[in-house]
Structure 1
């Protein structure tokens, strides 16, 4: 079942809205039970529960840095096979006081199940504030 851009847009709309309000119930459906999280310091396996528990700390880190909620600017999917799509994304997060916004660049490896639901199986942070250690 091939993905479509509207399907991916809906997935990232849900992901973005749930992340803005730290809606862990909704975010649970966005991630595989365990996934790979990576940044410049390396990659590590993370349980979905551990990641969701770390989100308030991550939100606090953004707030302390004077950075507001990130909004996706672009989604560039690359279909890898019938079940996986790699999505490169760019995001913009406003700075408090009107400073230059923060540019965030991430890639997500999504698995699409037989019912058409996406789950993140890898989350790579390329540019922007670093992922907090979970």
Structure 2
């Protein structure tokens, strides 16, 4: 992973990655705002945290359906926007579920908000790829 990131942001995303690997929705829920903006090439929409958490098992099955096993964080870069917001660019790689399979490279950006108590939460999530298009192309 990149060294251009603070320890608190690195720790946040290491925990985020671990929680995603194990589908620990309790841990994931602490990292998202009650409602956050989700964006991809098709547009932007507000998403209630509860709806996002409910969709995670289906997302895991979707990746499995195209031969992708676990997804690992490969790099982070951080840009502090002000005292309350941090832009984080991330790169991820989905490992093939079977030998000889093709890895899946993904990139996304997040805006984290620092609450008065210092807690970081995701308030904006941008998936640079259209996951539906990836599934169509790999199916």
| TM norm structure 2 | 0.87
Runs of 4+ more than 6 Å apart = none
Report the counterpart of residue 26 of structure 1 in structure 2.
27
The alpha carbon displacement at 1:74 in A equals: 0.8
The size of the alignment, in residue pairs, is: 128
Structure 2: unaligned runs, 5 residues or longer: 134-139
Report the counterpart of residue 83 of structure 2 in structure 1.
82
In 1, Cα distance between equivalents of 2:130 and 2:10? 22
| TM norm structure 1 | 0.90
Structure 1 window deviating more from structure 2 (121-130 vs 27-36): it is: 121-130
The alpha carbon displacement at 1:18 in A equals: 0.7
In 2, Cα distance between equivalents of 1:41 and 1:47? 19
Structure 1 window deviating more from structure 2 (46-55 vs 19-28): it is: 19-28
Deviations 1:44-65 (A, max 9, x none): 0000000000000000000111
RMSD over equivalenced CA pairs, Å: 1.5
Alignment of 1:37-76 (within 5 A): 37-76=38-77
Structure 1: unaligned runs, 5 residues or longer: none
Deviations 1:38-96 (A, max 9, x none): 11110100000000000000000001111012111111111000000000001111112
The alpha carbon displacement at 1:116 in A equals: 1.8
